[in-house]
Homo-oligomer: A and B are copies of this chain.
Amino acid sequence: MDDLVALRKLVPELDEVVERRYSLLKIVRNEAPIGRRFLAALLGSSERVTRTELEILREQGLIVTSSVGVELTAQGEQVLTLLQNVVREFHDIEYVERRLEKALGVGKMIVVPGDLDSNPSGKRDLALAAARYLKGVLREGHVLAVSGGTTLAKVAECFSGQDVPKNVTVVPIRGGLGEDAKIHANSIAVTLADNIGGSYRQLHAPEDVLPCYLEQILSEPRIREVIALGRRADILVHGIGTAEEMARRRGFDDASLMELIADGAVGEAFGCYFDAHGNIVRNTTSVGLRLEDLERIPLVVTVGGGHSKAWAVMAVLSRGYCDVCITDEGVARRLMSLKEIT
């Protein structure tokens, strides 16, 4: 039993206060400058009580209010960073991590407080955690393979150039998908490589092609080469999606989507749709790394949060290819209950 535990025993009402103010600060950090009324709506509490909290935090010098709204001070940023440890302890996250590692057979679970679905500001924390972890394992000359998705885009952003080994090559494992170019694996590779001062490759191909063209595309030397490089990556970091979200992004019509869901698809990764047991229920003919390629990669890191992705995470993890899973509390708690862990 340590200091914080004793403190919580002495002041039980501390928990909810910390909860409220912590998420408030987190929202302020990510949405700044933000107005009081809007903030209240995001927090799900009334305007007046939000205001009281803001007054307290302003007196403490954690935030400043101006005519444009509320913003964090430098001290507020610092405090917020430190608070993550506190909240981890309040939520018993270490325990959750250890239990899930055992129950899911994953080498390492990293759980970030919060739930991306209920508070999207947490995406930055998740991304920071991923970036911090990756920085710890990257070595000089490594090949780092990356997937696409909003989460990975944020991870790439969060890499700072400090303390990063040189000569890292970042290689995308998928072609383009949908419209938003910023979340393609290609752009992510660029951003990440820039941020760590490494080099990158590009996979100039659509993500999903008609089967008849697949072979032709794969025979293209520059594409083959990039895919081959991805296969012998030292580290692979990939996102995770719910089946529904990814299907929509791929432009499924309602009928196909319903069929997919009916087949039990809950999660998606690498162009494969998984059911809750980790079985592949649908496969796309895609340009890029395949699931079976993961086996050869020494370190596979899965990143994703938001409780709606819990099934997806479980499906992907149960394939057994994932070495490190970085997720949020929303997912972790749901996994706990799915696995009937107390």
Contact = CB atoms under 8 A, between A and B. Distances in A.
Interface of A: 1-7, 9-12, 14, 17-18, 21-22, 25, 56-57, 59-62, 75, 78-79, 82-83, 85-86
A6 B90 CA distance: 14
Contact of A9 (B2, B12, B60): B60
Given A1-B78, A14-B14, A78-B1, A7 B86 contact: yes
A18 B9 contact: no
Among all A-B residue pairs, the 9 with the closest Cβ atoms: A6-B82, A6-B79, A9-B79, A9-B60, A10-B21, A6-B83, A3-B86, A11-B17, A3-B85
B79 A10 contact: yes
Nearest to A83: B6
A113 B62 CA distance: 28
B21 A83 contact: no
Contacts of A2: 82
A21 to B, nearest CB: 5
A86 B21 contact: no
A4 B7 CA distance: 10
Contacts of A9: 60-62, 75, 79
A12 B79 CA distance: 13
This protein's copies in its complex: 2
A59 B160 CA distance: 47
A11 B17 CA distance: 7
Query: Which of A18, A59, A61 has the largest number of chain B CB atoms within 10 A?
Result: A18
A61 B1 CA distance: 15
Nearest to A57: B10
A75 B60 CA distance: 33
Given A6-B83, A7-B18, A11-B21, 20 more contacts: A1-B78, A1-B79, A1-B82, A2-B82, A3-B82, A3-B86, A5-B82, A6-B78, A6-B86, A7-B7, A7-B86, A9-B79, A10-B17, A10-B18, A10-B60, A10-B79, A11-B14, A11-B17, A11-B18, A12-B60
Query: Which of A6, A10, A21, A83 has the largest number of chain B CB atoms within 10 A?
Result: A10
A83 B86 CA distance: 16
Contacts of A25: 10
Contact of A83 (B7, B14, B59): B7
Contacts of A1: 78-79, 82
Contacts of A83: 6-7, 10
A5 B56 CA distance: 16
A1 B7 CA distance: 18
22 contacts: A1-B78, A3-B82, A4-B7, A5-B82, A6-B79, A6-B83, A6-B86, A7-B83, A7-B86, A9-B61, A9-B62, A9-B75, A10-B17, A10-B21, A10-B22, A10-B25, A10-B60, A10-B62, A10-B79, A10-B83, A11-B18, A12-B60
